[in-house]
Chain A
Amino acid sequence: MNYVTVQDLTFRYTRHHDPIIDGLSFTMKQGEVVGILGPSGSGKSTLLRLVAGLEIPEKGSISIDGRVIVDNSFCMDAEKRGVGMVFQDYALFPHLNTTDNILFGLHRLSRAERQRRLQEMLELVQLTEYAKRYPYELSGGQQQRVALARALAPRPSILLMDEPFSNLDASLKESIRDELRELLHKAEMTCLFVSHDQADIDAICDRSLQMDNRMMAMSGL
């Protein structure tokens, strides 16, 4: 049973340009971590934005867990999709501390549940001591973990990660890669992971998609 189905997805930023994604189709199983590789400008981030509902495709459809989230006649709003996203720059709200950043997506839970989930998340990413710190008081690696905790907290149906290592030191990267792989498997997350670095993908993902400019191919398993 396919958990995520993307069919014939086509997108262009303006009418005068060629499509940046042209007739893309692929499927994902539940709990699978799929890497997306490709040079810059090949539409990797755009694919994540289409899944998140931040852009609308020209044609094609996406469904997650049996639910159509976008097709040619319907487009679900981003806030209703239940999709988690870790942005390239993390986009941690600068006016909120770690706790409030993580609580941000838990507004639909009861107070007690919210607190429980917060503790779970802080423990998962090992940031309990940093709960009251503001983003600017955290290191790059810590910020990344807050972003991850914030995205995972509302239990999204899929996690989207856009170049999460691009702001980190090379030395930090290796330890964080392993940490992330373990975290994703512990949480049994279905995840689309964008990177331009083959080594990231090899370390974290079960398989990968190769995106070239306007061309789509599948590789791996």
Chain B
Amino acid sequence: MRTKTILRGIKRHTNGWLIMSLIVAVGILLPILYVMSSLFRPANDNWIRVKQYLLTDYVIGSAKLVILTGFFATLIGFALAWLVVGYSFPLRRFFRWALILPLAVPPYIAAYTYSTMTSYTGIIQATLRNHFDITVPPGTIEVMSTRGAIFILTLFLFPYVFLITRTFLEKQSASYIENAVLLGRKRFSLFIKVVLPISRPAIIAGLMLVVFEVLSDYGVANYFGVQTVSVAIFQTWFGMYDIDSAMRLAAWLMIVVIGIFVLERFLRRNRQFHSTTSQNKPSKPQQLRGAAAVAATSLCMFIFILAFLLPIAQLVIWTTWTYRRVWGAEYVDLIRNSLSVATISTLVIVLLALLTARAGRMLTSTLSYTISRLMTSGYAIPGAIVAIGVMAVFINLDHRLSHFYGWIGKGEGALVISMSLMMLVTGYVIRFMATGYNAIEAGYEKISRSYSEASRTLGHGHVGTFFRVELPLLRGAVFTGFVLTFVEIIKELPLTLLLRPFNFSTLATRTYQYAIDERIYDAALPSILLICIGLVSVLFIHRLGKGDIT
């Protein structure tokens, strides 16, 4: 009897949705597990050398970058968020959204822009020299260093902290702050005793995004010559053609990422405040006057100029110098490559996300939580790790298919799928599944379950219910997921560099190639194009926050 009942349960829960989403989850996890498994294989001589002479430097380089960028980005992001939420000063409403604009600028573009602007012939030194007769001693403004990398990454990643904490403070804090004021708290002690502690989960969430971005960064660190683990993965792969050692490095980096995840859980333990108030109105900001108001506006303006206006203005100027020469038929190809590969990948992501989010809704909470965690783990995993894993799995597949290739006349040992666009698309799907999945899952959460249940009692099965009820109600969420994922893919650099087929360039890789070749002015045009695409996503996120899009 008991077995029969268990069988009944299994039969009821085992359906196409579950099986498909398990396959997707395994597919996403496979390359990452493959990378981890390299730790258990015997090491080659090269790895022993890397470990002995270089590993410490890589780890110190990454740690310095992560810790200092994390610290400064949190400091700037949270301070500015509290400033625009808690106080009223000239241009406050403008800065409320303008300070998220730097997110549209890929840090590697900012890196070469700043390094050129601050060089001997760059606008800053040249102006000082020609108009003010000041000659800056060499090395005074030097961004080509760890310091410079921290400066760039901080300026262009702090908006993550700003955006998350600002939204949190606006939505959650009003009644707490008003109460604290009523209880006689002064502004500063209010900040220390109330605002800071209640914001901790939001601050940590923002900080984590910054940390994962920094760990994933290749463009900035490599351009500035900072030795980090991500850079080292590229060098051992492209410099030494040693994929085993590259995989080992990736595996160690993966362990660090898992460690950070655990640390995040630990930092947030018992701190997931469930607010007991549903009041959503923002608190009334305190009016700043005189010097204080000028100081607040100046601070925001200073950061906005550094992190957005200045590099954009410079890029626009460079573009006007070069666009006639640079623009050509090649650009049509570049744009087409970027758009087509991003469209295909985004479509795959949206389809898989719909499938698994639907399956998750039908399952017990623990199982669906596990699946959704697996699906979204890619966002925390640096692009280089995903790339190595995907590459290794595809090469392995090619070896296994070798006989088949021989049989269809391609020649044994041919690399077919690992030379195709499929590899790049797979990499994108794994890395950016989280963006699409989270948007669609959030959409699903807003649809009352009783709609689906009503549809089933009216005689429609899971598939019918999905197409006739859920999909029409999910339109907005699917659109949001599509746009956000699409833009992320267009901007992605390291993954594209590693996984693109031979002779396949996108806007991002071409921009970076120009920069590496010191053709900085030529890089301005594709950079501006990329930033414009990025702006679409940033403005979309901003509208999302206002609740215009559901």
B8:A91 contact, CB within 8 angstroms: no
A54:B12 contact, CB within 8 angstroms: no
For the complex formed, measure the closest distance between the CB of A94 and the CB atoms of chain B, giving whole angstroms: 7
Of B9, B450, B460, the residue contacting A79 (CB under 8 A) is: B460
* Known A78-B453, A95-B472, A95-B473: A72·B458 in contact at CB below 8 Å: no
Cα(A79)–Cα(B12), bound, Å? 13
Query: How many residues of A are in contact with the other chain, CB < 8 A?
Result: 33
For the complex formed, measure the closest distance between the CB of A112 and the CB atoms of chain B, giving whole angstroms: 19
Closest residue on chain A to residue B365 by CB atoms: A14
Q: How many A-B residue pairs have CB under 8 A?
A: 82
B459:A89 contact, CB within 8 angstroms: no
Whether B5 is near chain A, meaning CB under 8 Å from some CB there, is yes
The bracket for how many chain B residues form the interface is 20 to 34
B4:A84 contact, CB within 8 angstroms: no
Cα(A74)–Cα(B4), bound, Å? 8
B450:A150 contact, CB within 8 angstroms: no
Cα(A91)–Cα(B451), bound, Å? 5
A85:B457 contact, CB within 8 angstroms: yes
A residues near B453, Cβ cutoff 8 Å: 52, 54, 78, 85, 87, 91
Whether A111 is near chain B, meaning CB under 8 Å from some CB there, is no
A104:B5 contact, CB within 8 angstroms: no
A54:B456 contact, CB within 8 angstroms: yes
B454:A91 contact, CB within 8 angstroms: yes
Whether A75 is near chain B, meaning CB under 8 Å from some CB there, is yes
B454:A107 contact, CB within 8 angstroms: no
For the complex formed, measure the closest distance between the CB of A71 and the CB atoms of chain B, giving whole angstroms: 9
Closest residue on chain A to residue B457 by CB atoms: A85
A residues near B4, Cβ cutoff 8 Å: 72-73
Whether A108 is near chain B, meaning CB under 8 Å from some CB there, is yes
Closest residue on chain A to residue B4 by CB atoms: A73
Whether B461 is near chain A, meaning CB under 8 Å from some CB there, is yes
A84:B472 contact, CB within 8 angstroms: no
Whether A82 is near chain B, meaning CB under 8 Å from some CB there, is yes
B residues near A207, Cβ cutoff 8 Å: none
B residues near A174, Cβ cutoff 8 Å: none
Whether A184 is near chain B, meaning CB under 8 Å from some CB there, is no
A104:B455 contact, CB within 8 angstroms: yes
Whether A56 is near chain B, meaning CB under 8 Å from some CB there, is yes
A residues near B7, Cβ cutoff 8 Å: 73
Whether A137 is near chain B, meaning CB under 8 Å from some CB there, is no
For the complex formed, measure the closest distance between the CB of B18 and the CB atoms of chain A, giving whole angstroms: 15
Whether B1 is near chain A, meaning CB under 8 Å from some CB there, is yes
| B interface secondary structure, majority | helix
Closest residue on chain A to residue B460 by CB atoms: A79
A75:B12 contact, CB within 8 angstroms: yes
For the complex formed, measure the closest distance between the CB of A167 and the CB atoms of chain B, giving whole angstroms: 13
* Known A72-B5, A75-B8, A91-B448: A107·B459 in contact at CB below 8 Å: yes
Cα(A91)–Cα(B468), bound, Å? 14
Q: Please, what's the 1-or-0 string for B468-505, where 1 marks a CB less than 8 Å from any CB in chain A?
A: 11001100000000000000000000000000000000
B residues near A89, Cβ cutoff 8 Å: 448, 450
A154:B459 contact, CB within 8 angstroms: yes
B1:A93 contact, CB within 8 angstroms: no
Whether A105 is near chain B, meaning CB under 8 Å from some CB there, is yes
Closest residue on chain A to residue B461 by CB atoms: A79
B473:A73 contact, CB within 8 angstroms: no
Of B11, B454, B469, B473, the residue contacting A87 (CB under 8 A) is: B454
User: For window 85-106 of chain A, which residues contact chain B by CB distance below 8 Å?
Assistant: 85, 87-89, 91, 93-95, 104-105
For the complex formed, measure the closest distance between the CB of B116 and the CB atoms of chain A, giving whole angstroms: 53
Cα(A54)–Cα(B456), bound, Å? 9
Cα(A93)–Cα(B473), bound, Å? 9
Cα(A154)–Cα(B460), bound, Å? 12
Q: Please, what's the 1-or-0 string for B319-343, where 1 marks a CB less than 8 Å from any CB in chain A?
A: 0000000000000000000000000
Cα(A79)–Cα(B459), bound, Å? 4
B residues near A75, Cβ cutoff 8 Å: 8, 11-12
Whether A77 is near chain B, meaning CB under 8 Å from some CB there, is yes
Closest residue on chain A to residue B451 by CB atoms: A91
Whether A33 is near chain B, meaning CB under 8 Å from some CB there, is no
Q: Please, what's the 1-or-0 string for B9-21, where 1 marks a CB less than 8 Å from any CB in chain A?
A: 1011000000000
A83:B8 contact, CB within 8 angstroms: no
For the complex formed, measure the closest distance between the CB of B199 and the CB atoms of chain A, giving whole angstroms: 34
A79:B5 contact, CB within 8 angstroms: no
For the complex formed, measure the closest distance between the CB of B191 and the CB atoms of chain A, giving whole angstroms: 42
A93:B451 contact, CB within 8 angstroms: yes
Identify 9 new A-B residue pairs, CB closer than 8 A, beyond the known A73-B4, A104-B460: A59-B5, A73-B8, A74-B8, A79-B459, A82-B459, A89-B448, A91-B451, A91-B454, A93-B454
What is A's interface to B at a CB cutoff of 8 Å?
A: 52-54, 56, 58-59, 72-75, 77-85, 87-89, 91, 93-95, 104-105, 107-108, 150-151, 154
- Rank and list the top 7 A-B pairs by shortest CB-CB distance, nearest first: A105-B458, A73-B4, A91-B450, A91-B454, A78-B456, A85-B457, A87-B450
Listed by A's residue number, 7 A-B pairs whose Cβ atoms lie within 8 Å are A53-B457, A74-B8, A78-B456, A82-B459, A85-B454, A87-B454, A108-B459
